[in-house]
Structure 1
Amino acid sequence: MRLLVIGGCGLVGSMVVPVLARSHEVAVLDLKEPRTAVSGVDYHTGGLHDVELVASLASDVDSLVFMAMGPLAGWGSQENARQHFDIAVGGLYLALTGAAKAGVRHAVYTSSMSVYPYEELTGMVTFPDESVPPSATDFYGLAKRLGEEVCRTATERWDMDTVCLRLCFPAADDEWPRGDTEMKRAISTSARDVAAAIEAGLHRRGHGFDAYAISGDASGRTMSIEKARRELGWTPRDAT
């Protein structure tokens, strides 16, 4: 496939673009230069709010992969929260507008399991499955779940298939499992498994909007990935 990856130079993008580039023709749009350029990947420096730029890069593209997110620096400050909403809501909407203008009818959005709040249970947590509507109210979780609503709107407005992958603590393969608590390590997902989930999402077509929990917790102690197994044919190779 031909893919346009928005945010491909960020934390998650830097881990998965090299994997996607093995099988697909990949173009990346990001405000930043790549830390290490991947051979064969066509990098473009620019903003995701530029509808015409996105439309020009999305010409003849099979899918838009959206991995952009707000910065980690200043986490939780007013300015930081504004930046997260600006990217996950307004930026995503404009990027999908550009893609739709170019005729793209498929997108994969890297969402987060942070769309759900969670209760601490003796150091662990239990997440609801996809049948439960997201309800997070913190700035990051709310931004991500509003991003999912933008994807749902793209399905309704442009008849676009939008696949939302709710990622859990993505980690470089040599650093997996990652996390400073038992819960975080239990649900952490390796880079190659995140890439495999995106690959599976690229092939999920003709079903409109949908969302999937993506986690290394194959045992289901903390969350269920049964829907991803059933509908995407995805299961983690690196499982806790």
Structure 2
Amino acid sequence: MPESTPPGRVLVTGADGIVGRPTVAALVDRGIAVTALSRSWSAPTGADRVVTGDAADEALVRDALADVDAVVHLAAIAHPLLDTPRAVFVGNTSATFTVLACAGEAGVRRAVIASSINAFGVPMNHHDVMPAYYPLDEASPVAHDDAYSLSKWVDEQIGAFACSRWDMTVVALRFPLVRDLPALRRRAEQTRNTPAERARLAREGWAYLEMSDALDAIVRGLTQPLSGMHTLLVAADDTIMKESTEDLLDRYAAGVERRQRFDARQAPIDTSAARRALGWAPVVSLVEGEAPVMEASA
């Protein structure tokens, strides 16, 4: 799939975050000018323009959009327990609406926004619910009861609104756990040794994505010749676990429909929409070279 002309300047919100800081670096490395917006800064940024403040501040965002051709909106309260439910929902959705509306009014016609694998609600639902089927896909039925997951789902609807209202192309990436490889290895070890976490992660298919693969999806979301609204699941090809996926599903999701058989540690996540739209595919495997464990242990 051929790439379109890269944007000359990109506004990155949440630019001091776990994904935001590497995103700024990745864009700068590609010769793209960056305006970086964050509430605070833990270290200097590589962006040539820096804006400090809230992504829900309309006046601030309007000023930050000067000379901007595209937006990567990553600013968010990233977990339902990091603030009150109202603060999480209102903060996240207000920031997304503000950024996309101001961008649309300013003539920006391309945006990539961070959604979440949690957007369909099941992974963080406190009730005893499971996905309707595997592999998870963008059409998985929703079941919301936490403010963060609901906010991510609403963010996607805001993206569709911006697409209709301003003829903007919006790519909403449903990210799973995203970290660099050393951090993923640490998280994998913790998960594998925690029975409750192993069971909980069945709701999101034990999914993960290494940082460089996430950055590749973001850059492609900015540069591929697309139009309209695209909500896309992105995840590694394998799971964070050592056990075979079929064994994991037998143990932790035995009553859930399987629409295909999963080979070895194949992630029960359908990323075909991202592959088609972006020409994207994950490269990094967390468990590459590890021998699979054929029977899951509690």
**Is this a same-fold pair by TM over 0.5?**
yes
> Could you tell which deviates more after superposition, 177-186 or 197-206?
177-186
Structure 2 CA distance for aligned equivalents of residues 86 and 204 of structure 1? 31
Q: Distance in 2 between matches of 1:76 and 1:126?
A: 28
2:160 paired with 1:160:
no
Q: Which amino acid aligns with 2:222?
A: L
**Structure 2 residue aligned with 1:111, among 115, 118, 124?**
115
Alignment partner for residue 49 of structure 2, among 42, 56, 60?
Answer: 42
Unaligned runs of 5+ residues in structure 1 are: none
CA RMSD after TM alignment: 2.5
- Following superposition, the deviation at residue 40 of structure 1 comes to 4.3
Percent identity, please.
27
Q: Name the counterpart of 2:61.
A: 54
Q: Larger deviation: 210-219 or 165-174?
A: 210-219
Aligned to 1:80: 84
SS in 1 for 2:54: coil
Counterpart of 2:269 in structure 1 is 223
Q: Deviations over 1:25-59 (max 9, x none)?
A: 111111111x2323344221012122232122212
Equivalent of residue 183 in structure 2, options 166, 171, 175:
175
How far apart in 1 are the matches of 2:237 and 2:206?
Answer: 6
Contact 1:3–1:61, Cα closer than 8 Å, also in 2: yes
CA contact (8 A) 2:207 2:267 kept: no
Shift of 1:166: 0.2
Q: Residues 199 and 43 from structure 1, CA distance in 2 versus in 1: closer, same or farther, beyond 3 angstroms?
A: same
Of the two, which has the highest radius of gyration? Answer: 2
Distance 1:126 1:76 in 2: 28
Q: Contact between 2:205 and 2:267, CA under 8 Å: does it hold in 1? A: no
Partners of 2:60 and 2:114 in 1: CA distance: 21
**Which has the larger displacement, 216-225 or 179-188?**
179-188
Q: Helix, strand or coil: the match of 1:4? A: strand
Structure 2 unpaired stretches of 5+? 1-6, 124-128, 192-196, 239-264, 287-298
1:237 is aligned to 2:245 = no
Name the residue aligned to 1:12.
Answer: 19
Q: C-alpha displacement at 1:172, in angstroms?
A: 2.1
How far apart in 2 are the matches of 1:204 and 1:137?
A: 35
Equivalent residue for 1:32, pick from 20, 40, 65: 40
1:131 maps to 139
Taking structure 2 as the reference length, the TM-score comes to: 0.70
Q: Partner letter of residue 228 of structure 1?
A: A
Question: Displacement of 1:127 after TM fit?
Answer: 4.8
Q: Report the count of equivalent residues.
A: 233
Q: 1:45 to 1:144 in 2, by over 3 A?
A: same
